[in-house]
Amino acid sequence: MKLKVITATSKESSIEVNNSMFATKDNPTLLAQAIRIYLSNLRQGTSKVKTRSQVNRSKSKWYRQKGTGNARHGSRNAHIFVGGGVAHGPKGIENWNKNLNSKMKAQALRVALKLQADQIFVTDNLNGLQGKTAEADLLLQKMLGKVDKILIVLGENSELIKRSVNNIGQVLTVNANELNALHLVTAKKIIFTKEALQILENRLKKETVVKSNKITKKIKPVEKIKSAESAKLVKATKTEKSTKSVKTKKTASTAPKTIVKSKKKIKTTTKTKAKSK
C-alpha cells in the first residue's frame, strides 16, 4: 500500500509500505472491543461515596414517634434525606482492568490503520526541530493546515520532537512500540516519521509469525513391553474362558448317561433276585 509523504514546502509524494501492516477485511466488532478495553484500563477506579454510617451527622432520632403528623423516621443519615448517605454507591475498590491477547491487539491495530489509511502522512521534517514550540506549531500548520487532533508517531531518541510538540493543544505524541487502536481512531490526522514506520512494520511482522512445532510422541521400549504383556494377559484370559466353557459342556453331556447306566444295573439286579426265588 502507498502512503502520502508531506513536506513543509507542500510537495507531495508517496512511499510504498508492506501490506501486512493493514487488515485485509474490516472488523468493527474487534475494533470496538479493543477500544472498550483500552478505555476501561484508563479508569482509576478510586471514586467513592459515604454511606449513612460514614456521614458526619447526628445519629439521634429526628423528632418524636407520634403526635407530629409526619412520617416515622429515625436519624437523618438515611439516603432519602439531603445530606444523608448514599446507598449502593461506588466504594473505591472497583477493578476496571480488562485483558486482550496479543493477536487480537495486533489485528485491531491493523484494522484501525486500514480505516485511517487516507489520513496517514509520512514525513522527516520533524527531525529538524530543536525543542521550540513556536517552530513546531508553524511547521505543522504548513504541512497540515489547521492543527486539530493530530497524532504524531515517533521512533526512538526523539526527545527534542516531544519537547517542541507537547505544549501544542490537540497534538499527541506516542512511540511506535506503544501505538494502539485507540490512538489511531481518536485522531483526525496521523503523522509517521520514517523510523517509526519501520519500527511499526517490524512489530506487526513479529505478531504474524507463528511457531508451529509439531510434537511427536516416541513410544518407549518399556511401554512396548507393557503393551505386549497386556496382550498376553488378554489372550490367556480368553483361553481360560474357552477351556472352562468346554468343561461345562462335557459335564453336562456325561451326567445323564451315568444315570441311565445306574438304572440298568438296578433292573438287572431285580431280575436275578426273581429267578432265584
What pLDDT band is residue 18 in, cutting at 50, 70 and 90? confident
Name the residue among 180, 198, 32, 38 with its Cα closest to residue 106.
180
On the question of pLDDT at 264 being above 60, the answer is no
C-beta separation of 240 from 248 below 8 A: no
Distance of CA 179 to the CA centre of its chain: 19
Distance CA 73, CA 66 (A): 10
Spatial separation of the C-alpha atoms in residues 169 and 173, rounded to whole Å: 11
Q: Give residue-wise pLDDT tens across range 164-222.
A: 999 998 999 999 999 999 999 999 999 999 999 999 999 988 766 544 344 444 444 54
Tell me the pLDDT tens digit for each residue of 19-36.
888 988 899 999 999 999
Tell me which DSSP letter residue 9 carries.
Answer: T
Residue the block writes with cell 433292573: 267
- For residues 145 and 215, the answer to whether their CB atoms sit within 8 Å is no
Q: What percent of the chain has pLDDT over 70?
A: 75
pLDDT-derived band at 263 (thresholds 50, 70, 90) equals: very low
- Identity of residue 38: Y
